[in-house]
Amino acid sequence: MIAPDFDYDAVTRDMPEARVMRGEAYAAKGWVDLVEIAPTGVLAHVTGERGLTYVVEVAARDASDARCTCPDFEDSGLRCKHVVATVFRVLDADDAELETAAGRLARLTDMLEMEGRDDAALLVDRARRDPALLRELEGEPVG
């Protein structure tokens, strides 16, 4: 198993339907960037409707341990649409997508080390929580 075995019903239980639907829409629109996946948890960067990207971490089957950097989560501590989007995306991904995400940061570290970057591990660790830095390190346009 590459990713946690999420229970989508448990994740979305007692959440407002509009919040769940928006999270599912974010995933369907491709706004969830799976950064790191392991059987012990998932780290994703999720872009919201205003173009801001939030960092989501979740491991528990019911997402009871989820964390998100969005204001809604930080103010309420309740599961937000970005958590729903992340779990939905993981459950919707095929094995190849999960494997690619699982090795993403290791490949980036290797690439930076091959470029002679002594600070490769530090940069990649920072990029876990900084979506713009991750895009820059991977050679994507930032803006």
Geometric angle at alpha carbon 82, from 39 and 104, rounded to 5°: 45
Q: CB neighbours of 122 closer than 8 A, spacing ≥ 6? A: none
What is the tens place of the pLDDT at every residue in 74-98? 888 889 999 999 999 999 999 999 9
Q: Is the dihedral of CA 139, 137, 92, 51 positive or negative?
A: negative
> pLDDT grade, residue 107 (50/70/90)?
very high
Query: Can you tell me whether residue 106 is helix, strand or coil?
Result: helix
Sign of CA dihedral 68, 101, 86, 50: positive
pLDDT tens, 19-67? 999 999 999 999 999 999 999 999 999 999 999 999 999 999 999 999 9
b/e per residue 41-69 (b: at least 16 CB within 10 A): ebbbbbbbeeeebbbbbbbeebbeebbbb
- pTM score, whole prediction: 0.91
CA distance 35 to 53: 13
Give SS3 for 50: coil
Domain boundaries, the chain: 1-100, 103-143
**Between residues 139 and 65, the one the model is more confident about:** 65
